């Protein structure tokens, strides 16, 4: 019997989602456990699977629509997916005839929901005739042949994209659009009197451009923003509007860290199965600095400041769908190897679109690394409700005065700390960043802080 597709529970505090895209079309066969639709939430995208074998009988909510938890968005019926044409014919018979459309300057090729009476007749023919017929040396269905005949298309000139060179409806529609594409703007003369030396008037040409919608000439494209991108935009604006955000800068000499990595990276990878990166050093340094300045590991709730005595460090990861910040839990209890493995796993899940809501929940402090994209310096925006965020940047060789006597070339990195000045005083912010610098430039301190 038919079964409805419902929006599942989306996680704590998430009550609705957006239909991202349907992975199946009406009439397609589905099997139990097979993904049929992708939902977008504020934090992650996830797929809803079919609960039984059958056919996607109907789609109740289209792409881009907002749906709530428990809402029915489609139906799976019995069958094997071989009945889409019969269903369409049944709909045509129920709707009855419609008037023929009139052709405008550029033809509007109607979707299946807007067939002409001629197309409806072709559908009826197709229900009783062979699925594909030779026409001009090309295989095509009666509906495609009828559409080609209506617009004067010779099927012999159409390159079929279907199996075995079959001409599809999309092939014909594409050729129709190409034939009726608006012409380029032309120079047109319009009379505009102009005085000459003997007092006569003469005609001067002016250029009048034909105005066409940008969508028709291809110079503009409209792309629906994903739910995540909309949420990112809202939260960034909210952070700037609600927090008294300020940024302080410092720079760290990366010589000691880079030398340590050079000596230990092979043994580290053999032992932990993960590369020794810079992020584990900065995560450990952040934990040490947060312990010294607890207000930076806090959250403002109304008139109260919530000081957090645990250290869940968010690590910003860039994906095709936007920035996400999965969280390394209890970073103060983890070794360098455990932190690197966690970061590598979370980054891979983010790129594959497999992050769960639990991976993104909470977080007390965030680190973002613009240096991997070549950024030399930037001012990161707060990941609210957190009150501070650390920005790492590109490592660049620069001349450095050593002991006030000689100038040497050292690998240097600019560090940025953006903070909510309502909670964090400037002195604490500057001292916090100086503490990070101290721990990075002498990594042995990290063992003591750990």
List, by residue number, the catalytic residues. Answer: 421, 425
Q: How many CB atoms lie within 10 A of CB 138?
A: 23
- Burial-class residue 14 by CB neighbours within 10 Å (0-12, 13-18, 19+): middle
* Alpha helical stretches, state H, 73-141: 84-95, 117-128
CA distance 365 to 388: 6
Among candidate residues 265, 297, 269, 449, the one with its CA nearest the CA of residue 367: 297
Q: Could you give the 3-state DSSP secondary structure of residue 47?
A: strand
Strand 395-402 and strand 406-420: pairing? Answer: antiparallel
Q: Is the dihedral of CA 127, 129, 135, 138 positive or negative?
A: positive
Are 97 and 88 in contact by the 8 Å Cβ rule? The answer is no
Among candidate residues 432, 415, 411, the one with its CA nearest the CA of residue 257: 411
CA distance 300 to 320: 32
Strands (E), 86-240: 133-135, 138-140, 193-195, 201-203
């Amino acid at each position: 019997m038919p079964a409805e597709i419902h929006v599942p529970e989306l996680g704590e505090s998430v009550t609705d989602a957006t239909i991202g895209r349907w992975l199946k079309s009406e009439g397609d066969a589905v099997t139990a456990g097979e993904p049929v639709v992708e939902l977008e939430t504020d934090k992650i995208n996830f797929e809803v699977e079919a609960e039984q074998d059958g056919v996607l009988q109907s789609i109740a909510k289209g792409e881009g629509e907002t749906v709530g938890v428990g809402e029915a968005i489609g139906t799976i019926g019995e069958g094997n997916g071989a009945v889409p044409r019969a269903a369409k014919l049944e709909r045509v018979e129920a709707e009855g005839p419609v008037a023929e459309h009139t052709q405008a300057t550029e033809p509007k090729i109607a979707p299946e929901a807007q067939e002409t009476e001629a197309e409806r007749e072709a559908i009826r023919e197709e229900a009783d005739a062979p699925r594909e017929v030779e026409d001009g040396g090309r295989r095509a269905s009666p509906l495609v042949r009828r559409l080609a005949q209506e617009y004067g298309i010779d099927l012999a000139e159409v390159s079929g994209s279907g199996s075995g060179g079959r001409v599809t409806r999309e092939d014909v529609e594409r050729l129709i659009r190409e034939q009726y594409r608006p012409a380029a703007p032309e120079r047109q003369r319009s009379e505009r009197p102009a005085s000459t030396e003997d007092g006569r008037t003469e005609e001067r040409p002016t250029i009048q451009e034909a105005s066409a919608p940008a969508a028709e000439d291809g110079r503009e494209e409209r792309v629906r923003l994903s739910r995540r991108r909309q949420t990112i935009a809202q939260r960034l604006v909210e952070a700037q509007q609600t927090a008294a955000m300020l940024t302080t800068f410092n720079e760290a000499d990366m010589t000691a860290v880079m030398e340590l990595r050079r000596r230990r990276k092979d043994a580290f990878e053999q032992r932990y199965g993960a590369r020794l990166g810079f992020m584990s050093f900065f995560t450990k340094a952040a934990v040490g600095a947060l312990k010294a300045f607890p207000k930076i590991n806090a959250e403002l709730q109304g008139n109260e400041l919530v000081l957090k005595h645990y250290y869940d460090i968010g690590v910003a990861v860039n994906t095709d769908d936007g920035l996400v910040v999965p969280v390394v839990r209890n970073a103060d209890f983890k070794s360098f190897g455990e932190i690197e493995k966690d970061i590598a796993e979370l980054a891979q899940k983010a790129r594959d679109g497999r992050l769960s809501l639990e991976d993104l929940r909470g977080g007390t402090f965030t680190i973002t690394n613009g240096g991997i994209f070549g950024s030399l310096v930037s001012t990161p925006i707060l990941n609210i409700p957190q009150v501070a965020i650390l920005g790492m940047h590109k490592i660049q060789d620069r001349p450095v005065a050593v002991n006030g006597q000689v100038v040497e070339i050292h690998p240097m990195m600019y560090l940025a700390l953006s903070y909510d000045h309502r909670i964090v005083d400037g002195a604490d912010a500057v001292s916090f960043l100086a503490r990070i610098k101290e721990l990075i430039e002498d990594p042995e301190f990290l063992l003591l802080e750990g």
